[in-house]
Amino acid sequence: MSFIEKSYEKHSLHNCDNLPDFMVSNKLSPNDSHVRELKNITPLIKQFKEAKWLTVGDGRYGCDAYLLNTLGASSITATDINTYTLEIAKEKGFIKQYSCENVEKMSFIDNEFDFTVCKHTYHHFPRPAIAFYEMLRVSSKGIVFVEPIEESVKLFDRLKYFIKSVLRNDKNYLYEVSGNFVYRLSIREIEKMMTALDYDLIAFKKYNSFFFPGFPSCFKILNKPFFIAGILIQNILCHLKLMSWGTGIIICIKEDKDNSISHNLKHNGYKVIKLTKNPYSN
């Protein structure tokens, strides 16, 4: 068995062995940390009311698909390499449809969906670039990433990594217990990959989160002073350019002829980069 096969098998087993109860008990609330992240996609959901959405690596009871639906998306297909929890989620009515998929080679036809959402999943892939192009293939409009991002190392970054390793008892912050190397997204690299394909734009927001094992439920702490303080301190250090931002929402748009998408995203706090068009493409 190759390393790639071992990696996907390990992730499949890890997801089944480490299941949260928030979807089974249906206790999601507007203050949930997942909602906090996915609310940033609301501008696209409102602009494209009839869009078809795909979620990848959504093996925790289709949580991403479920939340997209609560935010107004009408047609969502949840996917993962292991559909055990997706079957349960459909039986309980949390999601309407799902599919067993390896994101490196999906069974869908070209442009079958409008948008693909990849939330906290890309950094688990053993070959993320292949997954990126496959998500572009099945998406007519683009991809939405919610992922750890990579920036130049700042003064307090190493202190942050040290604190995280102590709080989480990590052996190595470059890897996760599921066995994957934490592949952080580079906004500049995504920009170059999209430009090489002669697509129109990328847009992004940067933010920080705060989590470590030990809370009774990491999804019920957003109003806790400890959580708020952790976010606030990180944000201040980032604005002072003393620490790198931890997470980013990066939206990759294939085509925006009338600039309606870029205007919408700018209006909602995104920084938009219009990509250089290839003068030799025609």
Q: What is the pLDDT along the chain (282 residues), one digit of tens a residue?
A: 777 767 666 666 666 655 555 544 554 443 466 788 899 999 999 999 999 999 999 988 898 999 999 999 999 999 999 999 899 989 988 899 999 999 999 999 999 999 999 999 998 888 999 999 999 999 999 999 999 988 877 777 777 777 666 666 666 667 777 667 777 899 999 999 999 999 999 999 998 876 655 444 444 545 577 777 878 888 888 888 888 888 999 999 999 999 999 999 999 999 999 999 999 987
Would you list the domain boundaries of the chain? 3-151+174-221+246-274
> What is residue 263's DSSP assignment?
H
- Helices 84-91 and 3-17 pack at an angle, to 10 degrees, of 40
**Secondary structure of residue 79 in the 3-state scheme:** strand
Provide the 10 A C-beta neighbour count for residue 25: 8
Contact between 34 and 63 under an 8 Å Cβ cutoff? The reply is yes
In the CATH scheme, what is the code of domain 3-151+174-221+246-274?
3.40.50.150
C-alpha span between 242 and 153 (Å, rounded) = 9
List of residues 6+ apart from 198 with CB closer than 8 A: 277, 278, 281
C-alpha span between 140 and 75 (Å, rounded) = 15
C-alpha span between 79 and 98 (Å, rounded) = 6
Pairing of strands 247-253, 52-56: unpaired
Residue found under tokens 């202190």: 159
* Encoded amino acid at 149, one letter: I
C-alpha span between 143 and 190 (Å, rounded) = 11
Beta bridge partners, 253, equal: 142, 201
